Amino acid sequence: MIPAAFEYYAPATVKEAIGLLQQYGDDAKVLAGGHSLLPIMKLRLAQPKIVVDIGRIPGLDGITLDGDTVSIGALVTHDAVEHSDVLKSNCPLLPETAAAIGDMQVRNRGTIGGALAHADPAADYPGAMLALGAQITAAGPKGSRTINASDFFVEMLTTALEPSEIITEVRVPVLPKGTAASYVKHPHPASGYAVVGVAVVLSMNGGKCQRVAIGVNGVASKAYRATAVEAALTGQLLDEKTVAAASAHAAQGVDVQGDLYASSEFRAHLATVHVKRAVLKAAERAT
């Protein structure tokens, strides 16, 4: 289907983009890589009168190491995340996660900032951001502010971004020695989105789990931390029996989604299976 008619703007600076969003309000939508906005425009689920293309704004497409954090510009593509030597050395969870997104064409055009702003519960990055404790920088009319990943994902397709705000940067921690991570998913066979996706960041000490953070996407209306699993694993030897028992709580306390492909019961089962796999994979890497 062809999108409804719209006016197109390509601002040269973040300030100019924010000004356009202020000027046109709810009539405007931000375009980055286009893999979130354009499909829903073609289906006419979204019919913005104004499209603000931030894809040509310089300075938003870099990946840099800054002390104990890695800074990722909002316009960095999934392909760039996947193949970044800086991230592979310091935060390998994100390259592994990016490699699971869509196909090569999607990864070459889609951006990390666009994916996070869209906040699709079946997207791959949100669970990883929660597990890492990432921070998201947003620029708006009042300046820049930092939003913790734990506060960023509000509800399905809804974030903590204020009107006229744009994501400019994502900051993730460098994983220290003794800490490992993993991402595993059950992809939908047609779309490639995560029916269930699980990101794990895990630290070992003396053969036991010292700290673990588990982010889950695809299961509920937004990504969430599997805190009951984390509590059950902390301080424990991570043998298969212990991990399996803890993983049974993967969907505890959340309203599990169901659809034509996966009922809520099946999706909850997949969450249990994939949390177990992701934890054991991270534990093996950590040791």
* Contact in structure between 20 and 50 (CB atoms under 8 Å): yes
The 3-state DSSP class for residue 100 equals coil
pLDDT of amino acid 87: 98
Q: Does 98 score more than 90 pLDDT?
A: yes
State the amino acid at position 73 in one-letter form: G
pLDDT band at 58 (very low <50, low <70, confident <90, very high): very high
Query: How confident is residue 207, by pLDDT bands cut at 50, 70 and 90?
Result: confident
Length in residues, the chain: 287
The 10s digit of each residue's pLDDT in 131-190 is 999 999 999 999 999 999 999 999 999 999 999 999 999 999 999 999 999 999 999 999
Express as a percent the part of the chain with pLDDT over 70.
Answer: 100
Domains of the chain: 7-53 (3.30.43.10), 63-173 (3.30.465.10), 179-286 (3.30.390.50)
Under DSSP, is residue 217 helix (H, G, I), strand (E, B) or coil?
strand
Question: Are the beta carbons of 160 and 140 closer than 8 angstroms?
Answer: no
| pLDDT of 1 higher than 80 | no
Predicted local distance difference test score (pLDDT) of residue 241: 97
| Rounded-to-10 torsion of CA 69, 167, 135, 38 | -100
**In this predicted structure, what is the pLDDT of residue 204?**
94
Q: Tens of pLDDT along 31-43?
A: 999 888 999 999 9
Q: pLDDT tier at 9 (50, 70, 90 boundaries)?
A: very high
Q: Alpha helices, DSSP H only, in 91-171? A: 93-98, 104-109, 112-118, 125-132, 149-152
Calpha distance 141→14 (Å, rounded): 10
Beta pairing partners, 183? 199
Stretch 41-54: mean pLDDT: 95
Terminus-to-terminus CA distance in the chain, angstroms? Answer: 52
* Summary mean pLDDT of the chain: 96
Closest CA to 92 of 4, 8, 180: 180
- The counts of H helices and E strands in the chain are 12, 14
